[in-house]
Chains A and B, each alone.
Chain A
Amino acid sequence: MNQLSTTAQQAIDEFQACEQWEQRARLLLQRGAQLQELPQTLRTEDNLVHGCETRVWLLLDREAVPPRFQAASEARLLRGLLALLLLRIEGLDAEQITAIDVTDWFAQLGLSRQLSPSRSNGLNAVLIRMRELLDNL
């Protein structure tokens, strides 16, 4: 298990402090709003994650050291979840990223329910795609 970064730990504290689903939802929307916009030119078929009912684009900036993911979605809550996923892997190398237990990460945030086993929100598909992109690095 990787050590959590300070910002990751902050996110946990913030989400854990929520007592109601409304607060959690608002926080998630805020996180989503902070996710860096992905220009339309990068929202291509190639960058689309298959297996999400809601469209999600994911790409890996290979130039950056360590490599950096960019993600986007049309759904705002999903964007929040993506932001939290990116936050968790920030600064990690390929091997560390693959070792991450996403389920555990969202459980720590108290967001397990958002990770439905059905494909509809597709975060698992996002993770699989991340691993593929890293494998091809």
Chain B
Amino acid sequence: MFLPSPWRQFFPGILAFAEQQQVWLDSAATAQKPQSMLDALAQHYQQGVANVHRAQHQPGERATRAFENARSSIAKWLQADAQDTLIFTKGTTEGINLLSQALAHHLQAGDEILISAYEHHANLLPWQQLALARGLILKVLPMDTDGHLDIDQAIAQLSTRSRIVAISALSNVVGHKQSLSALLSAARKIGAWTVIDGAQAAVHERPNLQQLDCDFFVCSAHKVYGPDGVGLLFARERAVPALRHWQFGGEMVRHCDYQHAEFLPAPLGFEPGTPSTANIIAFAATLEWLQSLDSQAIATHEAALHAALLQGLQARGMQIIGSPNCALVSFNAPQVHHADLALLLGEQGIAVRAGHHCAMPLLHSLGLAGALRVSLAMYNNGDDLQRFFAALDQALEILQ
């Protein structure tokens, strides 16, 4: 299997793993970091730090400029309009929690929130808990037999009480890129807010928020080769006024007395406290580096790896969840517990994920206690897959 990755050399973490005989096939959980990100982090700290948005001194001004430049740069990566807003969060999870609270005051008992059957807990629990607290109806949109969202059914489920539609563009279990435009425009017609969980999708295709007509889009830096603890919430111009301030503290107020306060508008009004300045700057640097690469070549490479992965698993009679077409494959070996297989792969230096993948209701509805997931990134190569398959064969020989 000759599928070299020309980008592997830029990821010190992958090279370090290779020296330890470790194969990283768990990038859907978190991705390794390119040298450019490490350099940006080091450079930021080495030149001296300061808070953003508060100090009058020169280091503070410099930090603020770098921080706001990062915001513009990331907005450009998203292909957002100048009027749209980019709010920094800790990650996808926080972005969705923010939305569930910042939109809550619009919702009344009997209103509906729609999600898909394959959502990560991060795009289920905030809505579920909101629904429980306010007497809302949480509608779960069904999948077809391929494990894809059934768009016609989803549109048929929309009603005049539908207020929020929150869907992942790429499931972290099924690995299927959803085309959502029909659903998004139907939701928009009836006046529901649309939220896209882009945690997985953003890694494998640069988001285009000109085309993806949602109100809100969230993702996490650490999955897109960026630093930990940073995420973004894109809010389209038309949707920003709907958000009510949700967390309170320093740097978000216009005016404050003991009994009352007035808050800044988005984004600053939604970023109370000291932000993760270094990481945000390093995230922008990561994305700039990504954009300097040949995205078509990366997509082609990832598709070839994915096809080889799928083919090898099918040839071995593995039970694959759905019909994955991107980035990852989840599967079980017949008659073998996923935890046993994961342990023996681990023994052989293969890092894959096993369990319910933070999608317990999905696995439960499929009648599975868990599954293994192999996930790919631009730095993986044919050797990684070969080593995985050799280890899989060994493990199965012992277990079957």
- CB within 8 Å of B: which residues of A? 21-22, 25-26, 29, 53-55, 74-78, 113-114, 120-121
Say whether B337 contacts A75, CB under 8 Å.
yes
CB contact between B340 and one of A22, A26, A77 (< 8 Å): that residue: A77
Point out the residues of chain B lying under 8 angstroms from A74, CB to CB. Answer: 337, 369
CB contact between A77 and one of B343, B348, B370 (< 8 Å): that residue: B343
Say whether A21 contacts B348, CB under 8 Å.
yes
- In the complex the two chains form, what is the Cα distance from A26 to B346 in whole Å? 15
Point out the residues of chain B lying under 8 angstroms from A21, CB to CB. Answer: 344, 347-348
Say whether B398 contacts A120, CB under 8 Å.
no
Say whether B339 contacts A75, CB under 8 Å.
yes
Say whether B398 contacts A121, CB under 8 Å.
no
Point out the residues of chain A lying under 8 angstroms from B369, CB to CB. Answer: 54-55, 74
- The residue on A at minimum CB distance from B394 is A22
Point out the residues of chain B lying under 8 angstroms from A113, CB to CB. Answer: 346-347
Task: Knowing A26-B398, A74-B369, say if A53 contacts B347 (CB, 8 Å).
Answer: no
- In the complex the two chains form, what is the Cα distance from A114 to B342 in whole Å? 11
- The residue on B at minimum CB distance from A81 is B343
Other A-B pairs beyond A54-B370, A55-B369, 4, CB < 8 Å? A29-B398, A74-B337, A76-B337, A76-B399
> Shortest Cβ distance from B361 into chain A, in angstroms?
16
Main SS at interface, chain A: helix
- The residue on B at minimum CB distance from A52 is B339
Count residues on chain B whose CB falls below 8 Å from chain A CBs. 17
Let me know if B115 is at the binding interface, CB within 8 A.
Answer: no
- In the complex the two chains form, what is the Cα distance from A26 to B342 in whole Å? 15
Which residues between 359 and 400 of chain B lie within 8 Å of chain A, taking CB atoms?
369-370, 394, 398-399
Point out the residues of chain B lying under 8 angstroms from A121, CB to CB. Answer: 339, 343
Point out the residues of chain B lying under 8 angstroms from A76, CB to CB. Answer: 337, 340, 399
- In the complex the two chains form, what is the Cα distance from A21 to B348 in whole Å? 8
Point out the residues of chain B lying under 8 angstroms from A78, CB to CB. Answer: 339-340
- In the complex the two chains form, what is the Cα distance from A124 to B380 in whole Å? 34
CB contact between A114 and one of B343, B355, B399 (< 8 Å): that residue: B343
Say whether A120 contacts B347, CB under 8 Å.
no
Point out the residues of chain B lying under 8 angstroms from A77, CB to CB. Answer: 339-340, 343-344
> Shortest Cβ distance from A86 into chain B, in angstroms?
19
Point out the residues of chain A lying under 8 angstroms from B339, CB to CB. Answer: 53-54, 75, 77-78, 120-121
Say whether B356 contacts A25, CB under 8 Å.
no
Point out the residues of chain A lying under 8 angstroms from B354, CB to CB. Answer: 53, 120
Can you list 16 pairs linking A and B with CB atoms under 8 Å apart? A21-B344, A21-B348, A22-B398, A25-B344, A25-B347, A29-B398, A54-B339, A54-B370, A75-B339, A75-B340, A77-B339, A77-B344, A78-B339, A78-B340, A120-B339, A121-B343
- In the complex the two chains form, what is the Cα distance from A54 to B369 in whole Å? 8
- In the complex the two chains form, what is the Cα distance from A3 to B383 in whole Å? 48
Scoring B340, B354, B355, B394 by chain A CB atoms within 10 A of each residue's CB, the highest score goes to B340
- The residue on B at minimum CB distance from A78 is B339
> Shortest Cβ distance from A57 into chain B, in angstroms?
14
Say whether A53 contacts B337, CB under 8 Å.
no
> Shortest Cβ distance from A73 into chain B, in angstroms?
8
> Shortest Cβ distance from B278 into chain A, in angstroms?
28
Scoring B337, B346, B369, B399 by chain A CB atoms within 10 A of each residue's CB, the highest score goes to B337
- The residue on A at minimum CB distance from B399 is A76
- In the complex the two chains form, what is the Cα distance from A29 to B343 in whole Å? 12
Say whether B355 contacts A120, CB under 8 Å.
yes
Point out the residues of chain A lying under 8 angstroms from B346, CB to CB. Answer: 113
Point out the residues of chain A lying under 8 angstroms from B340, CB to CB. Answer: 75-78
Point out the residues of chain B lying under 8 angstroms from A55, CB to CB. Answer: 369
Task: Knowing A74-B369, A76-B337, A121-B339, say if A53 contacts B344 (CB, 8 Å).
Answer: no
Say whether A53 contacts B348, CB under 8 Å.
no
Point out the residues of chain A lying under 8 angstroms from B394, CB to CB. Answer: 22
